[in-house]
Amino acid sequence: MRHYYLIVDTETTKKQTVADFGAVIVTKQGEIVEQAGHLVNGHFGKFPLFSDPLADADAFWSEQSAHRRLKDYDQMVEDGHRSIAGVGLINQWLAGVNARYAPVLTAYNISFDVGKCRNTRINLGIFAERFCLMKAAKRKIGVLAEYQQFCIDRGLLTAKGHKPQMTADAMAKFILGDSLEDEPHTALEDARDYEAAILTHILRDTTRAQLLELGR
């Protein structure tokens, strides 16, 4: 039996709702069979993008950066790399992929993405099985001496405690190599180009049942 996984990623508003929804259906071998990337009508453009008022002006999550990210999204729409879709259309797509693939739901910090989707009425409750990709990655990759040394050598350390980062960006660079650009923090690209690689790497020697346990 072929197993499928649905990786969801979200970028959010200051109202704790989803501005940018991205998702991919991926096989154990890393084949992406479907994908979706939408700016959520009624949330994107209506509410400010999330930003941290305490962040330095040049930090990614600063309020100054939020203005730049908004312009970047507008350009993506203009270039045809994003569409604006209502919640109903997103839920219709989710119901369709559930019927076609019965995938296991996952996300890098799944409680965050599920919570923001719930606030937006994006229905992830239809999926029978789920696990947290971040927890699985920490327990499968983050414990490796090779990974920890990789982070130390490249300065991929936490601000507090100077410990190896457990971010999707750091994990993906460990798997795919130093040439990988920094995670863009746009939903579809994060899910497809970073988180799918992490999932596929773990699944090389991990069964579906073991993965569900790792991500509990």
pLDDT (mean) for 137-150: 98
Has residue 74 been placed in a domain?
Answer: yes
State the burial class of residue 115 (Cβ atoms within 10 Å of its Cβ: 0-12, 13-18, 19+): middle
Strand order in the sheet with 83-85: 83-85, 32-40, 18-27, 4-12, 104-107, 130-132
Higher pLDDT, 26 or 160: 26
For residue range 28-55, what is the model confidence (pLDDT) as tens digits?
999 999 999 999 999 999 999 999 998 9
Instruction: Return the pLDDT at 161.
Output: 85
What's the pLDDT score for residue 160?
87
Instruction: State residue 139 phi and psi, 5-degree precision.
Output: -80, -25
Say if 216 falls within a structural domain: no
Name the E strands within 3-107.
4-12, 18-27, 32-40, 83-85, 104-107
Residue 1 has a pLDDT of 75
Number of compact structural domains in the chain:
1
**131 inside domain:** yes
- The pLDDT > 90 percentage for the chain reads 94
Predicted TM-score of the model (pTM): 0.96
Q: Does 215 map to a domain?
A: no
**Domain range for 31:** 4-210
- CB neighbours of residue 184 within 10 Å: 16
The pLDDT of residue 115: 98
Span 169-183, average pLDDT: 96
Q: What is the model's pLDDT at position 58? A: 86
Supply the pLDDT for residue 163: 95
CATH label of the domain that carries residue 58? 3.30.420.10
pLDDT in tens, 41-90: 999 999 999 999 989 988 889 999 999 999 999 999 999 999 999 999 99
Q: What is the mean pLDDT of the chain?
A: 96
